A and B are shown apart, each in its own frame.
Chain A
Amino acid sequence: MAKNLSGDLQVASANRLGDGAVVFLDDAGRWTVRLERAVLARDKRSGEILLERAKAEASGVIDPFLVAVSEDDDGTLEPLSLREKIRASGLTFQAIAADAVRYA
């Protein structure tokens, strides 16, 4: 069951400079495409510190910001807003393949 839906749980996200990919700041101060590796701020003050840290590590990314997430009992993180869910997991439909002659 998801907990902490108040928006206090937050991760730092940005877009990677080289390709625009969605990335999250991990514990070691590296940017990763894997949300499950994101370092989690559990309250407002920690969130502020996390954002400062993200901005300090921002040389290879664009405009870091905080994303409100929920955390399941097994520790799975999920963004609260649909926009951030889509940012984290990609298109919600299947794009056509390069060699396709029909949309399937």
Chain B
Amino acid sequence: MRCDMPDTHFYHYDSYDRALVAERVAQFRDQVRRRLSGELTEEQFKPLRLTNGLYLQLHAYMLRIAIPYGTLSAQQLRKLADIARKYDRGYGHFTTRQNLQLNWIKLEDAPDALAALAEVDMHAIQTSGNLIRNVTADHFAGAAVDEIEDPRIWCEIVRQWSTLHPEFSFLPRKFKIAITGSPNDRAAVRVHDVGLRLWRNEAGEVGFEVIVGGGLGRTPMIGKTLREFLPKDELLAYLEATLRVYNRYGRRDNLYKARIKILVHEIGVEKMREDVEAEYAEIKDGALKLAPETIEAIARQFAPPDLVPRKPESAAVERLRLEDRDFGLWLKSNTAPHRVPGYAIVTASLKPAGAPPGDASATQMDGVADIAELWSEGELRVSHEQNLVLPHVAIEHLPSVWKALSHLGFGEANVGKITDIIACPGLDYCALANARSIPVAQRISNHFADLARQHDIGDLKIKISGCINACGHHHVGHIGILGVDKNGVELYQISLGGDVDFGKTALGTILGPAVEADKVVEAVDSLVTTYLEQRGEGERFVDTYRRIGAEPFKERMYGAL
């Protein structure tokens, strides 16, 4: 049964979208029936289940649910909670690609879970396979004060073009696109297969910088600029040309060399550009040229909520800030300026001390949905840093929002701090992992739990991956931690200096030999101590590292172990 979707400020499915998703659910239901009855072998069934986001992990099936461009309504989040409760163990894991993973789905329940998702215009398409994956965006989209244009309009246009694209359903490897509409990149566009950055040129026109060949994983690369400025209406034709070149020349003989970053690295960005431009010249005036009315029709669906400007000061906020240190710290770390005066963007931290990063119980999801409905126009975002965002909160409501989030365990004042750790599911869940990530994150989080200390340390991003596939983005952590398996023992390789800030994007440098699991906290502590002793005025951890280099950190860390 379909729920009536409330009026939201983002894309609504049309009848075509709904028919497509309903058809996919019906097809998958039949495929599951045939697998359970033995009509289909696992070899035949595996690509079908993966196409519907259903993976087999260590202990169970995992359903990866797409949250397109990280945008959710309160109603959708409630439905996710409902599905987690009914078909899983009552909790879910928000991922670094703005998706939600349910870790304990039964095969026979998977079609029902997908049907329940379809009731709120959601699905698990494009969450697996060698195709264009769910497009990600800035998690402050539609609210950020520094935003030039809402990137979700373009994410949705890309989604409509890419979903079930017949030519690109069997690419050499998966293909990830991220879009940002702000100069301060919160979508990590330089470490995606294609990153798109909206910017305004000297003539005052807004277009895209097209970045290609970035990525993490086994061979981390920072993307290179393919086109400095692409007019917006040419986006799809240009992407089509880029994907065609990749599809034609990308390697299919070696899984580890199949991503576009390897192609760009091998032939060089100049040759890549030449080939893409040649292909583009053939198709640029064809059916993919975006008509202004098409763009406008989608843009209308992302029209911002009608927020009435308010006074930026609030006596209630000021009073609580003076009374409660934690609220004051939370204001500093978990709120960001909004484009409308008198409002703020609030980040609900899914990283309370000692908790598995990014996990939320069904009750917590319901609670955050209630908060969004009461105080954030019914809207939410999922960040690639595994937090939830309330994009439109009136400043006078911040005390209420903080109290409500704190009640749920999501009011920790640690966004951007040392305990706001990104961690992949690691060997506790993942069939690909070599080492555990979550228990390491938990130990670091408990060790640095004191909020005053965290704020004294300042901005410091720790990112942990349980294998070289780098779902925990360890390459771009200020402190990156990679779990490796050496003769059956978990060891952790530590790197420093990674960053995804625009203009400063860098891959971390490995400090030296990997450390034992029970030494990771001590190692991180020694790195922090080195920073605190050496930092200059206003320097973040990564700034100090850039100034003084790895040696003092390395000396201290290995000396302490």
Contact = CB atoms under 8 A, between A and B. Distances in A.
Interface string A64-83: 00000000000000001111
A82 B490 contact: yes
Interface in B47-65: 56-61
B362 interface: yes
If over half of A's interface residues share one DSSP class (helix, strand or loop), that class is named, otherwise mixed; here it is: loop
Given A19-B60, A20-B57, A95-B89, A100 B106 contact: no
Contact of B361 (A81, A90, A96): A96
Interface stretch (B169-177, B436-444, B551-559): B436-444
Contact of A103 (B56, B59, B84, B354): B354
A60 B489 CA distance: 33
Contact of B90 (A62, A81, A90, A97): A97
Contact of A98 (B363, B408, B442): B363
A10 interface: no
A87 interface: yes
Contacts of A63: 42
B59 A96 contact: no
A92 B439 contact: yes
A92 B36 CA distance: 31
A92 B409 contact: no
Given A93-B438, A95-B356, A96-B359, A20 B91 contact: no
Contacts of A49: none
Nearest to B436: A92
A41 to B, nearest CB: 20
Given A17-B107, A86-B427, A101 B61 contact: no
A2 interface: no
Contacts of A99: 90, 361-363
B377 to A, nearest CB: 24
B103 to A, nearest CB: 8
A102 B36 contact: no
A98 B409 CA distance: 14
Given A17-B35, A81-B488, A92-B439, A101 B363 contact: yes
A103 B352 contact: yes
B488 A19 contact: no
Contacts of B359: 95-96, 103
Interface in A15-37: 15, 17-22
Interface residues of B, number: 46
Contacts of B429: 91
B108 to A, nearest CB: 6
B347 interface: no
Contacts of B335: none
Nearest to B35: A17
A19 B109 CA distance: 9
A29 B355 CA distance: 41
B485 interface: yes
Interface in A39-58: none
A91 B429 CA distance: 7
B365 to A, nearest CB: 10
Interface string B488-527: 1110000000000000000000000000000000000000
A101 B367 contact: yes
Q: Most B CB atoms within 10 A — which of A63, A80, A81, A103? A: A103
29 contacts: A17-B42, A17-B107, A18-B107, A21-B60, A22-B59, A62-B42, A62-B56, A63-B42, A82-B485, A82-B490, A83-B58, A83-B485, A86-B58, A86-B436, A87-B58, A87-B59, A90-B59, A93-B356, A93-B438, A95-B359, A96-B355, A96-B361, A98-B91, A99-B363, A100-B361, A100-B363, A101-B408, A103-B352, A103-B354
Given A98-B91, A99-B362, 15 more contacts: A17-B35, A17-B107, A18-B108, A20-B56, A81-B488, A83-B427, A86-B428, A90-B59, A91-B429, A92-B436, A93-B428, A98-B362, A101-B407, A101-B408, A102-B408
- 7 shortest interchain CB distances as A-B pairs: A98-B90, A103-B355, A20-B60, A102-B409, A20-B61, A19-B106, A96-B361
